[in-house]
């Protein structure tokens, strides 16, 4: 009797990290049509991939908080032995996952920790045997999520005839003082004054062209202290929406946008995975490594390294240049 395939997928990280493995997941689902899949990930990973496939039947939660990690590894490994996985795919470059999980099955596949070249999604595809004809990143969204997003937009005076430019100023941890004035923040945050200036530029240009255009920020309530100054500085050019967390509705909102402007964040990858055009702002990261893994016509990236003052980080990217990219994206869609 042939043993039924039961496959463990390992990817620990934040939202964008999980989105980048979705092409490889699609290949595995197609390659093993009768297999059952389990996922080892974070709570954020569970949220992002919820509903991705009903063949992912169980999610195991993991975190990297030492020393609790050591106890958690022992507990999970004992449970995994009971599951008797026939294959394990580890979409991580860190060697600890190999040393921890490799003896659970002879069919163990992990990324080469010595080689990080090429886009991470492409590395994952190579691991599972994805050829040149491969899927791009993708996320599902429910019809109800889209309806809720449309209702929220309508409640804020934004009808389907209005073109929507989403602005995403935050990153994970941006509301915490721990990150303030640290070196890495300049690569994560485009200044709020730049977002406000961009909104005013786009509003003025749209008025000159007779185009109904709105700049929108969908913020969580706890993000208001960070977001409110940007909205106030925009002098009425930004529509701020706030509502309780609802990931399906948020995906519906991203899918409804015509363009999203964002630094290298999870929502940038979410939007790209939902088919929305993206204008990405990059500093300190390589686009070739972790840019939106979608057809090139679906995104445009502006890099601080290509400006006259790259040491400023994202602040070196001027709102006027971003506005030009937004219009190129709007006119191409």
DSSP letter string over 33-84?
A: TT-EEEEEE-HHHHHHHTTS-TTEEEEEE----TTHHHHHHHHHHHHHHHHT
What CATH number was assigned to the domain covering residues 6-128?
3.40.50.2000
Class of the CATH-defined domain 143-332: alpha beta
CA distances 245 to 133, 143, 250, Å, are: 36, 17, 8
Buried b (16+ CB within 10 A) or exposed e, 161-195: ebbbbbbbbbbeebbeeeeeeeeeebbbbbbbebb
Domain assignments of the chain as residue spans, ordered by start: 6-128, 143-332
Identify the pLDDT of residue 41: 97
Whether 6-128 and 143-332 share one fold: the answer is yes
Q: What is the C-alpha separation between 184 and 206, in angstroms, rounded?
A: 35
Report residues of the chain scoring pLDDT below 70: 1-3, 113-116, 172-183
Identify the pLDDT of residue 114: 65
**Paired residues of 59 in beta bridges:** 39
Q: What is the C-alpha separation between 223 and 30, in angstroms, rounded?
A: 40
Identify the pLDDT of residue 184: 73
Identify the pLDDT of residue 95: 82
Dmax over CA atoms of the chain, in Å, equals 72
Identify the pLDDT of residue 180: 45
Identify the pLDDT of residue 182: 53
How close are the terminal C-alpha atoms of the chain, in Å? 53
Alpha helices in the chain (DSSP H): 15-19, 22-31, 43-49, 68-83, 95-101, 120-128, 143-155, 185-188, 192-209, 224-233, 247-256, 266-273, 287-290, 319-332
Q: What is the dihedral of CA 216, 220, 221, 225, to 10 degrees?
A: -70
The pTM is what?
0.93
pLDDT digits (tens, 9 = 90+) for 191-250: 999 999 999 999 999 999 999 999 999 998 889 999 999 999 999 999 999 988 999 999
Pick from 80, 43, 50: nearest CA to 65: 43
């Amino acid at each position: 009797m042939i043993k039924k395939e039961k496959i463990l997928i390992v990817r620990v990280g934040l939202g964008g990290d999980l989105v980048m493995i979705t092409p490889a997941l699609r290949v595995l689902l197609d390659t093993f049509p009768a297999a059952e899949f389990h996922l080892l990930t974070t709570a954020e990973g569970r949220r992002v991939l919820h509903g991705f496939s009903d063949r992912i039947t169980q999610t195991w939660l993991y975190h990297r908080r030492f020393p609790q990690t050591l106890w958690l590894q022992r507990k999970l490994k004992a449970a995994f032995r009971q599951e008797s996985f026939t294959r394990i795919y580890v979409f991580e470059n860190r060697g600890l996952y190999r040393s921890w999980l490799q003896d659970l099955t002879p069919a163990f596949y992990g990324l080469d920790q010595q080689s990080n070249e090429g886009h991470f999604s492409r590395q994952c595809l190579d691991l599972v045997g994805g050829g040149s004809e491969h899927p791009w990143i993708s996320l599902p969204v429910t019809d109800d999520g889209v309806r809720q997003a449309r209702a929220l937009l309508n409640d804020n005076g934004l009808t389907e005839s209005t073109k929507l430019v989403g602005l995403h100023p935050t990153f994970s941890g941006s509301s915490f003082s721990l990150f303030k004035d640290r070196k890495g923040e300049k690569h994560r945050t485009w200044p709020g004054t730049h977002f406000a200036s961009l909104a005013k530029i786009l509003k003025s240009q749209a008025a000159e062209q007779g185009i109904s255009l709105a700049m929108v920020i969908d913020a969580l309530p706890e993000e208001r202290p960070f977001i409110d100054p940007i909205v106030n500085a925009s002098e009425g050019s930004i529509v701020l929406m706030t509502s309780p967390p609802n990931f399906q509705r948020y995906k519906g909102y991203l899918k409804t946008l015509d363009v999203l402007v964002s630094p290298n964040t999870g929502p940038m990858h979410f939007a790209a995975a939902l088919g929305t055009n993206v204008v990405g702002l990059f500093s300190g990261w390589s686009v070739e490594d972790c840019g939106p893994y979608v057809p090139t016509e679906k995104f445009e990236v502006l890099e601080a390294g290509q400006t006259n003052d790259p040491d400023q980080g994202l602040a070196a990217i001027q709102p006027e240049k971003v506005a030009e990219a937004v219009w190129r994206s709007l006119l191409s869609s």
